[in-house]
Structures are given as structure tokens and as C-alpha cells.
Structure 1
Amino acid sequence: MSPRVAGSHPVHAGCRFRLSDLTVAVLGAGKIGSIMASSFSSCGMHVIATARSRERIERLRMQGFEATSDNAYAVRKASAVFIAVKPYQYPALARQIEGHVAGKPVVSVMAGIPLRLLRKTLPGAEVYRAMPNLNAAVKRSATGLVAPPGAQYKELVKSILSCMGRVYELPEQLIDAWTAVAGSGPAIIAEFIDSMILAALAVGIPRDLAYDAVLESIIGTAEYLRARPVHPAQLRDEVTTPGGTTITALKIIEGKGMKSALIDAVEKATARAARLAREIEAMLEETAGDPQGGGGQP
């Protein structure tokens, strides 16, 4: 089945095409997979979501999706396929769907698995890599996309992904770093927010007021920087006055090495994504010679 797009008017602010007669499969509708399914559904697409447990399937059906444990069925029915299983589950999944993907766009949101392995294990598919983040739940994902050379369905794939937020096309050598920065970013930022709230509590601000103050400050700062594309250091200098409260706080932060810790964290997370690719490749090679190697549901 080839992807079909009717008309050219968006049905949602994030969508570039009318997608209402498109069926997409989301294989592995866990946390991020179910968020993706909801985003795609909000753009008018019919979603077939897959999961292993009966309880999860029932929850997906209650959310309004067609849900099944049969990955091959979902792929056969879909015009575009999104793989959201955990990377270590991919070898078994590939065995189940490899005969049904030819001619279709297949988008992996798994960390660490390169296009060359996707092409090898999904013969005939037009394979992509994408890395959204949890902010897709509020249509504010920063999604990195790696497309194959000469991709036929790239604009369609970008349109579908834009239902979750902004889409940024990347060379594949940057996707591991994108995973560390944008994919892990919400967790890192949440840690910073929690620290700021605790700091507010320490100086006597009530919890509810502290929570609102920190969130509004972060949202406002992000909007300020987007509206005025200046270096963050310029904003910092605009706030910082000689001998004032801001420079006192910044001196402590610098002394504790916050910037160094964040840089180190992102570098280590990027390296982990690269190691994961090697681990999955070894797993695929082990199962390649085993005719029973992919029997179970991922």
C-alpha cells in the first residue's frame, strides 16, 4: 500500500498536508509510542498501535486507537510505519515485519540503530531515523530526522512528524548527539527545574508559588530567546548588575561547575547512544543465523 495524501491543507497547526486518509502503524506503543499515536491521531490519521500485553492493548483501544499484538498485521495495513520499541527488542521485531515493509516509509525512533542496519533488516523499505522527545505530548517536540539519500517520502514523513512539534533534518552523524541533547533534554531540564524549586523552598517561597515562578521563568526565557535570537550570554548580561543578586548566584553556580557537569553529561549520553548501535548490530548478527531468533513479540 502506498502512502496517500488527499489535498494540501493542514488539519492541524503542525501538519503540512491533509493526512486524514492515511493509516500509520506505531509498533511498540509504550510511553513515547502512545504519545506519537495521539499526536498522529490529532492530525486525522488512522492509527494502528501495537503492544505485547493484553492490558496495554485494552488501554490503547480505550484511547480510541486500533490496537493489536500482531506487528505484521499492523505493517500490512499501514501506509507508513513508526518503530518505537526498545532497541534490544528490535531484532525480534524485524523478523516479524521484514516481509511486509517493501515500498513503505519506515521511521525508527529507536536510539542507536543506524540507517544501514535498518536497510539491511527491512529490505525494500525506505527507512528513516527520528528522535522526538516527551514534549510531543503538548505538541512541542524538537524532533530530529535523518532521511535516506533521494528519499521519496521525506516530505510526507516530515509532515507526519510535525504533528508532534518542530522537525529538524539532520545528517546521521549528529543523531546520537541529538538524542543526548533533545531526546534526553526534558529529563535534564526537569532536574534543573526541581533544583530551582528546592532552592525557592529553601528561601521561604511556598511550594505552589515556587513551582509557578520557576516554570514561568523558564517558559518566558525560552520565548524571549526565540523572539530575540541573541546569545544566552547577552540575556544573562542584561539581567546581571554589578554587586547584585544575580552575579552572586552566578558566582556560586560557576564555582560548583554546573556548565561542566552538563557538558560532560551530554558527551557521555552521546557516547552511550553510539555504543548502543554496536551492541544492537552484534545482536542482529547473532540472530541472523538462528531461524528461531525472532519468534516472540517484542
Structure 2
Amino acid sequence: MATTKLGLIGGGVMGEALLSRLLQQKLYQPSEILVSDPQQQRRDFLTQEYGVEVTTDNHLVVTSATEAFLLAVKPQIFDSVISELGDWQVGSHTTTLPLLISIMAGVSLHKLEAAFPGQPVVRVMPNAPATVGVGMSAISAGHNVKPEHQELATRIFESVGQVVEVPENLMDAVTALSGSGPGYVCIFIESLTDGGVCAGLPRAIAYKLALQTILGTAVLLQESGIHPAQLKDRVTSPGGTTISGIAELESCGFRSAIIEAVLAAMARSQDLGNQ
């Protein structure tokens, strides 16, 4: 039987996204991954779709994983998961503890390290586009994390997109921007589509135009490396249509509304972390 290198506690949407991309990029073989999930239907699906080993035993996941195990569960059940594990490190025959990776929003490194004493721990905040391989993940490292742990965490999350490293005191800001950001973008796409419909376009065409415009603009900015203000200036002719639309956005407080949305989301993330 192959050695379990990576363990996943939680085989939900984000857990599966990581699993599929890690296997696709051959960073791990199916036989090297063990996933725990309480739902029989979900376990059957993961086995059938990806060929990985599955279990209901979280304790088995953390005692089997030699490189890393990932906590991909809702923060509300963190305490119950910890109580299931008990003194799992006692009697361990390994000389080095595997890296613990948490993607639970609001659960601090301090709380994680208290629950897993001596463990190398990183917090990661991925976002929804990670499920299609174009996500943005921010990583904060705990006290016991060494360069090789940081490299491992980065390699794992680069499988689903881009990665940045931030100090933990900025995690709430990351959550508010890139974690919640897809929600803001969806409202903008929906509103842009509604504007097209209001202007007379069929909804299906308006939606296609809006969606591709957002995607194309993002790719153009990414590949060209120019500042958004520069691109805005390039497409804004004197007395033209674009500047008329921008003037209306400014009069409605569009910029400040986005800024305030990020600040409100950050405040809520801080509140959740203190509960």
C-alpha cells in the first residue's frame, strides 16, 4: 500500500478543487491521498471520480499523512473536529510533523497552534475561481513553519491559481477583497447585463457581451502589465461615450461604494474571527 502523503479533512467544493488539480498536474498520485468526509455519497463520488482512498475517520487522516493535511471544513465545526482527534500526536513514530493547512475563515493561527502544539501551521484564504484553476490564494505562516513548509503550501495552492504571502493581520482584508470579491464582480456583471437590456439588447446577448468584456479586460491588464487607469484613459475619448458613462458612475459614488463594500466585509470577517 502506498504511503499517504496528503490528507484532506473535508471533501467539499474547495477540497475537490484542490484534489482534482493536484492529481491533474501529477503533484500527487491518487494512492497518496486520503480524504475524510461524513457523507457516504460524497465519499463514493470522490473514490469513483479520482480513485483516492476515503474514510470517515479524521484521526486516520492526520496520523497517516506524511507531508501535509488540509482542514477544509466549516469553521463552525472546528471544535468538534479537534475533539475527534484527541491526543493524536502521542506515540507518533514520525520524526517530523506534517504541515497543517487550514482554509477555515476566521480561525486564527493562534487557535490552530493551540489545538496542534508544535505543528507547522499555515492559514490559506483561497477564493471561488480556484474551483476552475484561476483562483487567488493568500498564505499566512505560523511560528513553526520552515521554508520547505512554505514551499509545499505554495506549490499546493499554485495548482488552483496564483498565491501571495501575507502576515496574518491582513487576512481579514484578503477575505474582504479576494474572498468576497467574486460576489462584487457578479453584481457588476449582472448590472452591466441589465444596462444592456435596458438599452435594447436581448438578455442572452447582453450577458455574453458583459461577461466577455470583464474577462477580456482582466486578461488584457494581466498580460500587458499596464495600470487600470492607463487602460481606462486609452478607451476614453474626449466627449465620447465612455467618459459620459464614467461621469455617471462617479456621480453615483461607484468607487466609494466598492471601497466601502471591502471595508464592511473586512469588519464582518473580524467579527466572525472574534466569535
- If the length of structure 1 is used for normalisation, what is the TM-score? 0.81
Task: Give the aligned residue type for 2:129.
Answer: N
8 Å contact 2:9–2:73 — kept in the other structure? yes
Residue 186 (structure 2) aligned to one of 190, 199, 205 = 190
* CA 1:98–1:214: 2 relative to 1, 3 Å: farther
Aligned-pair CA distance for 1:110: 0.7
Cross-structure match for 2:69: 81
Q: Deviations over 1:24-75 (max 9, x none)?
A: 1221222222222222222332332222222222232232232222111122
8 Å contact 2:120–2:143 — kept in the other structure? no
1:1-298 equivalent positions in 2, closer than 5 A:
23-44=5-26, 45=28, 46-64=32-50, 65-79=52-66, 80-97=68-85, 99-100=87-88, 103-149=97-143, 151-152=145-146, 153-279=149-275
Q: How many residues align?
A: 260
8 Å contact 1:115–1:129 — kept in the other structure? yes
Aligned-pair CA distance for 1:234: 1.8
SS at match of 1:146: strand
SS at match of 2:117: coil
8 Å contact 1:41–1:47 — kept in the other structure? no
SS at match of 1:85: coil
Aligned-pair CA distance for 1:218: 1.3
For residues 249 and 112 of structure 1, what CA distance do their matches in structure 2 show? 39
For residues 43 and 205 of structure 1, what CA distance do their matches in structure 2 show? 42
8 Å contact 2:11–2:72 — kept in the other structure? yes
8 Å contact 1:176–1:270 — kept in the other structure? yes
Task: Give the aligned residue type for 2:192.
Answer: M
Aligned-pair CA distance for 1:98: 5.1
* CA 1:217–1:98: 2 relative to 1, 3 Å: farther
Question: What are the ranges of 5 or more consecutive residues in structure 2 without an aligned counterpart?
Answer: 90-95
Cross-structure match for 1:3: none
SS at match of 1:63: helix
For residues 71 and 188 of structure 2, what CA distance do their matches in structure 1 show? 31
SS at match of 2:159: helix
Question: What are the ranges of 5 or more consecutive residues in structure 1 without an aligned counterpart?
Answer: 1-19, 280-298
Higher relative contact order (CA closer than 8 Å, sequence separation 6+): 1
* CA 1:237–1:85: 2 relative to 1, 3 Å: same
Identity percentage over the alignment?
34
Task: Give the aligned residue type for 1:122.
Answer: F
Compare 194-203 and 206-215 and name the one that shifted more: 206-215
SS at match of 1:129: strand
Aligned-pair CA distance for 1:150: 6.0
For residues 69 and 75 of structure 2, what CA distance do their matches in structure 1 show? 16
For residues 272 and 224 of structure 1, what CA distance do their matches in structure 2 show? 33
* CA 1:98–1:213: 2 relative to 1, 3 Å: farther
For residues 33 and 199 of structure 2, what CA distance do their matches in structure 1 show? 49
SS at match of 2:35: strand
8 Å contact 1:39–1:136 — kept in the other structure? no
